[in-house]
Homo-oligomer: A and B are copies of this chain.
Amino acid sequence: MTYTKAFFEQLDKQDPLASFQAKFALNAGEIYLDGNSLGARPKAALARAQQVVEQEWGQDLIRSWNKHQWFELPYRIGNKIASLIGAQDGEVVCTDATGLNLYKAVSTALQLNPSRKVVLMEGSNFPTNNYMVQGLLSQLGDDYQVRFVEEAQLLEQIDEQVAVVCLTQVHYKTGRVLDMQAITEYAQQKGCLVVWDLCHSAGALPVDLNGANADLAVGCTYKYLNGGPGSPAFIFVAKRHHNRAQQPLSGWWGHSAPFDFKRDYQPGFGISQMLSGTQAILSLTVAEVGIDLMCAADMQALRKKSQALTRYFIELLDQECGQYGFELVSPRDDEKRGSQVALSHAQGYPIMQALIDAGVIGDFRAPDILRFGFAPLYNSYVDIWEAVQRFKSIMDNEHWREAQFNQRHAVT
C-alpha cells in the first residue's frame, strides 16, 4: 500500500491513548522524537515544582520531612514504578542515578554468588554501565573481571565462570530488545544472577520482572517516564534476595534505624537498604508527575501504539526516502524493536542537524547513526507523516549540505 496523510489521521482518531497528548507541554510545529533521551514535560510538572519550592521548602521548611513525607518518596514512587515493570510493592525504590544503582545492584549480585568472579556485559552497551562495573571490580581485586560480549555470542558466553549477567534490555543505539525471560532462565540454569538495565524499557514497553524471575534491575525515569532532566533513577531487588547481601553505598537512609544515629552501619530490611543518603527532593517530587501519567496508561495499548509508530515510520521512510541510502539499524521485527528507530547514513550528522533545524528533533550517535524515539503518550501518528515529509524535503533539496555543524552530542 501507499501511505497517505489521511491514513495517519485516521489512526489518530482511533488511538485509545490520544487523550494523553494534551497532558504534555509540546512546542507548536515541532515533532519531538527524542523522548528516548529526555522525555517531554508533563504540564502538571510546573505546578508541582512551584508547590514544592514555595510551600514545601519555603513555608513548611524542615517540617516537610514529615508533613509532606519526603522520607517516603523513594518508596512511594518506587511502588508506582514497580507497577510498570512487573514488580511488587516493596521491591523498588526511586533514588540516586542509574549508574550508582547499577553499582549497588552488581555488587549485591556478586555477593550472592561468591564463588564466581566474572561479570558478563555487552561491550556495545551504553558505556556508563561498563564504566561503573569496571570501577566496582577495581575495588574488589584482580581476580574479578568483566567479560564483554556481543549479542550473537551472548548465550554461549554465559557459562559456569560467570557470576552476574548484566544486560540492557533495549539497546540504547539500535533499539533492539533482548528476550528477558529466555536469557534470565538460561543464565540462572548456568548458576548466574541477572541484572537488567531498563533505561529504554520502563514506560516504553511492558516489562514483567517477576514473570521473568529477574534478580535485580535498574533504570532511569527521565526518558519514557518523563520525570525531568536527570531525575532520580530506580533499583529493583527481587524479594527472595532481600536481606541476604549488603550494598556498599551504605548511607544513613539505608540504615535499619536511621534516626538512632548509631555509630555503626546496620542495613535496613528489604529494599530500604538500597537507599544511600539524602535525596534531591525537588527532582524527585517532580519526577512523580511523569510517573503518575504513565501509571494511568494501559501498557499493552502503549506497546501496540509504539510498535505501530515505529513500524509506520520505517515504512513511510522506505516509501518517501528509499533512494537515499539509509540503512535500518533497528530490528524490522516489531517484537524485537523497542520504542525507537535507528538508521545509519554516511552523512548522518549533517542530516540530523538539518532535521533539527526543520523542527524534527532526533539525535545522532557516532559514527553514523540517526536515532528517533517514539513516545506513545505524546507522539501522534500524524507526527510520522509530518516528520517524514520534512525528512524528504531535506533529502530532495540536499538541505543537509548547509546544516550548521553546531550540534554537540546529546545525552543517551
Contact = CB atoms under 8 A, between A and B. Distances in A.
Contact of A46 (B53, B255, B261): B53
Interface string A57-81: 1110111111000100000000000
B57 A228 contact: yes
Contacts of A310: none
Interface string A289-330: 000000000000000000000000000000000000000000
Interface residues of A, number: 91
Q: Which 7 A-B pairs have the closest CB atoms?
A: A135-B250, A280-B283, A229-B281, A99-B277, A128-B252, A41-B58, A131-B265
A134 interface: yes
B62 A278 contact: no
Contacts of A54: 25, 41, 46
Counting every copy of the chain, the complex holds 2
A187 to B, nearest CB: 21
A189 interface: no
Given A97-B280, A222-B278, 8 more contacts: A41-B53, A45-B53, A45-B57, A46-B58, A57-B228, A141-B141, A229-B281, A280-B282
A232 interface: yes
A253 B388 CA distance: 34
A1 to B, nearest CB: 33
A103 B103 CA distance: 13
25 contacts: A34-B62, A38-B57, A41-B54, A41-B58, A61-B361, A62-B411, A63-B361, A97-B279, A98-B278, A99-B251, A99-B277, A107-B139, A123-B263, A127-B265, A128-B277, A130-B263, A131-B254, A134-B265, A135-B249, A139-B248, A141-B141, A220-B278, A229-B282, A230-B278, A280-B283
A259 interface: yes
A247 interface: yes
A201 interface: no
Contact of A53 (B49, B96, B123, B263): B49
A280 B230 contact: yes
B62 A250 contact: no
Nearest to A104: B135
Nearest to A146: B264
Nearest to A103: B249
Highest count of chain B CB atoms <10 Å: which of A40, A127, A255: A127
B411 A65 contact: yes
Interface string A362-400: 010110000000000000000000000000000000000
Nearest to A45: B53
Contacts of A56: 229
A40 B54 CA distance: 11
Contact of A139 (B140, B261, B407): B140
A148 B64 CA distance: 33
Interface string A39-55: 01100011001100110
Contact of A279 (B58, B230, B284): B230
A146 to B, nearest CB: 9
Given A98-B278, A278-B411, A252 B62 contact: no
Interface string A234-274: 00000000000011111110110001111111000000000
